[in-house]
Structure 1
Amino acid sequence: IWLMTTIPSISAFVLAFYATCGGILICCLETQLKFLRVVIAVNFGFLFHSVWRFFFYFLLASVAWSYDHLFGKIAAGGMGAAAVFNTYVLCRYPSYRKMRDKIAEEEDKRIEARISKEVRRQAASHLTK
Structure 2
Amino acid sequence: MITLPDPATWVLSIYATCGGLLICCLETQLKFLRVIIAMNFGFLFSSLWRFVFYLILGTVTWAYGNIFGKAVGIIFGVVGLFNIYVLCRYPSYRKMREKIAEEEDKRIEARISREVKKKAVQSAFGS
TM over 0.5: yes
Measured against the shorter chain, the TM-score band is over 0.9
Q: Determine the C-alpha separation between the residues in 1 that align with 2:69 and 2:58.
A: 9
Q: 1:113 aligns with which of 110, 114, 119?
A: 110
What is the CA deviation profile of residues 28-63 of structure 1, one whole-angstrom value per residue up to 9, with x for unaligned ones?
000011001001001101000000000000000000
Query: RMSD across aligned C-alpha pairs, in angstroms?
Result: 0.9
Provide the residue aligned with 1:49 in structure 2.
46
Q: Determine the C-alpha separation between the residues in 1 that align with 2:124 and 2:41.
A: 43
Q: Does 1:61 align with 2:58?
A: yes
Q: 2:35 aligns with which of 35, 38, 42?
A: 38
Compute the displacement of 1:128 (Å): 2.2
Letter of the structure 2 residue corresponding to residue 32 of structure 1: Q
Q: Does 1:29 align with 2:26?
A: yes
Give unmatched runs, 5+ long, in structure 1: none
Letter of the structure 2 residue corresponding to residue 6 of structure 1: T
Provide the residue aligned with 1:94 in structure 2.
91
- Identity score, percent: 63
Count, aligned residues:
126
Compute the displacement of 1:95 (Å): 0.6
Q: Determine the C-alpha separation between the residues in 2 that align with 1:85 and 1:9.
A: 34
Q: Determine the C-alpha separation between the residues in 2 that align with 1:6 and 1:97.
A: 46
Provide the residue aligned with 1:104 in structure 2.
101
Letter of the structure 1 residue corresponding to residue 53 of structure 2: F
Give unmatched runs, 5+ long, in structure 2: none
